[in-house]
Amino acid sequence: MAARFLFLALLALASSHAIASDPSQLQDFCVADLKSDVLVNGFVCKDPKLAKAEDFFFSGLDKPRDTGNKLGSNVTQVNVNQIPGLNTLGISLARLDFAPYGVNPPHIHPRGTEILTVLEGTLHVGFVTSNNPNNQLFTKVLNKGDVFVFPQGLIHFQFNYGKTNAVAIAGLSSQNPGVITIANAVFGAKPPISDYVLAKAFQLDKKTVDWLQAQFWMDNNN
């Protein structure tokens, strides 16, 4: 009986590990067929015989992006949608440009951890833990060459409080980490979330919520 219980416990443990992580690569690569109508978790592979160098290539990340918007920032994503060869490889990249006092507002990446390094300027960055234990804020001022990690699924932000432009590069642990900007999702949802729900949740009066929902919520991700 004890041996049977031990076997079942080990089987459950092995199964939990299998479910909790991506499977190992079964081939050299799986270039995404972005035009396929087949729906899978990710993208189906195109015939590897048809793969070419351009499937693993992206150009122009050295060029400054336009930050002339309300947020004063611009995020250039380089994920599987830009590089089909990233499909199944579990990694992607982004360039972040900031005007003086520009912000990449509080957001989360539901499918990836982010590691960021500053190339130019100074950034004030931070993330907030879940309410277990206590919504703790971890924050740091980063200068050129500094690196900071934002754990997967946690709310985080970057702010350039300097008088010059700032540039950063971020690596993410997913081919398609996703981004949910908190204000956009809450106040810009389509169809809108009930203003009664938001007024109660944020302890605001309904008129303030209605005003917030009527605003244009800028998306700085490209």
Q: Once rounded to an integer, what is the mean pLDDT over residues 15-44?
A: 73
Q: Who has greater pLDDT, 121 or 131? A: 121
Q: Would you say 104 is a known binding-site residue?
A: yes
As a residue count, the chain comes to 222
Instruction: Give the dihedral sign, CA 120/221/137/205.
Output: positive
Q: Would you say 107 is a known binding-site residue?
A: yes
Confidence of residue 16 (pLDDT cuts 50, 70, 90): very low
Q: What is the mean pLDDT of the chain?
A: 88
Q: Would you say 17 is a known binding-site residue?
A: no
Euclidean distance between CA atoms 3 and 46, whole angstroms: 47
Confidence of residue 22 (pLDDT cuts 50, 70, 90): low
Which position has the token pair 């980490």? 177
Distances (CA, A) of 217 to 22, 176, 188: 34, 22, 6
pLDDT tens-digit series, residues 43-75:
899 999 999 999 999 999 999 999 999 999 999
Instruction: Give the dihedral sign, CA 43/22/156/82.
Output: negative
Q: Could you tell me where the DSSP H helices lie in the chain?
A: 2-20, 182-187, 195-202, 206-213
pLDDT tens-digit series, residues 98-107:
999 999 999 9
The first and second tokens of residue 24, run together, are 């190992």
Q: Would you say 41 is a known binding-site residue?
A: no
Q: How many CB atoms lie within 10 A of CB 204?
A: 15
Side chain identity at 73, as an amino acid letter? S
Side chain identity at 195, as an amino acid letter? D
Q: Would you say 109 is a known binding-site residue?
A: yes
Given a cut of 70, whether residue 26 has pLDDT beyond it is yes
Q: Which residues contact 190 (CB under 8 A, 6 or more apart)?
A: none
pLDDT tens-digit series, residues 188-210:
999 999 999 999 999 999 999 99
Q: pTM score, two decimals? A: 0.85
Task: Output the pLDDT for position 23.
Answer: 56
Task: Output the pLDDT for position 1.
Answer: 55
